C-alpha cells in the first residue's frame, strides 16, 4: 500500500469519526442513541483496522486484540457514562 492510499485510508477513518461526532451532537438528548452511535463507531473502527492492516500485510493477532480491546474500552466507557 503506497503512502497516498495510507493517507486516504486514515482520512476515511477520521471522516467516520467526524460523522460520528455530528451524529452524537444530533442525538445529544438521547443517551441510548448516543450509546448506539459509539457501538457503531467501534464496529467501524474494528472493521477498518482489520481491512487496513490486512491490506498492508501487517496483520497480527496481537494487533487485532489491541483493536478489539480499545473498541471494548470505548463501548464500556460509553455504557458507564450514558447507560449505567
Burial level of 28, CB count in 10 A (0-12/13-18/19+)?
A: exposed
Is residue 48 near other proteins by the rule CB under 8 A? Answer: yes
Selected binder of other proteins within 1, 51, 55, 56 (CB under 8 A): 56
What is the rounded CA–CA span in Å between residue 28 and residue 26? 6
Is 22 one of the binding residues for other proteins (CB under 8 A)? Answer: no
Determine which residue in the list 5, 8, 14, 26 makes contact with other proteins, applying CB under 8 A: 14
Check residue 80 and report its DSSP letter. I
**DSSP code of residue 24:** H
Positions that interact with other proteins (CB under 8 A): 10, 13-14, 17, 20-21, 24-25, 28-32, 34, 37-38, 41-42, 45, 48-49, 52-53, 56, 58, 62-63, 65-67, 69-74, 76-82, 84
Amino acid at each position: 500500500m503506497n503512502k497516498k492510499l495510507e493517507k486516504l485510508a486514515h482520512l476515511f477513518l477520521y471522516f467516520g469519526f467526524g460523522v460520528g461526532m455530528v451524529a452524537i451532537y444530533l442525538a445529544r438528548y438521547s443517551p441510548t442513541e448516543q450509546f448506539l452511535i459509539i457501538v457503531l463507531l467501534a464496529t467501524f473502527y474494528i472493521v477498518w483496522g482489520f481491512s487496513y492492516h490486512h491490506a498492508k500485510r501487517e496483520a497480527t493477532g496481537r494487533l487485532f486484540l489491541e483493536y478489539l480491546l480499545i473498541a471494548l474500552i470505548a463501548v464500556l466507557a460509553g455504557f458507564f457514562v450514558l447507560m449505567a
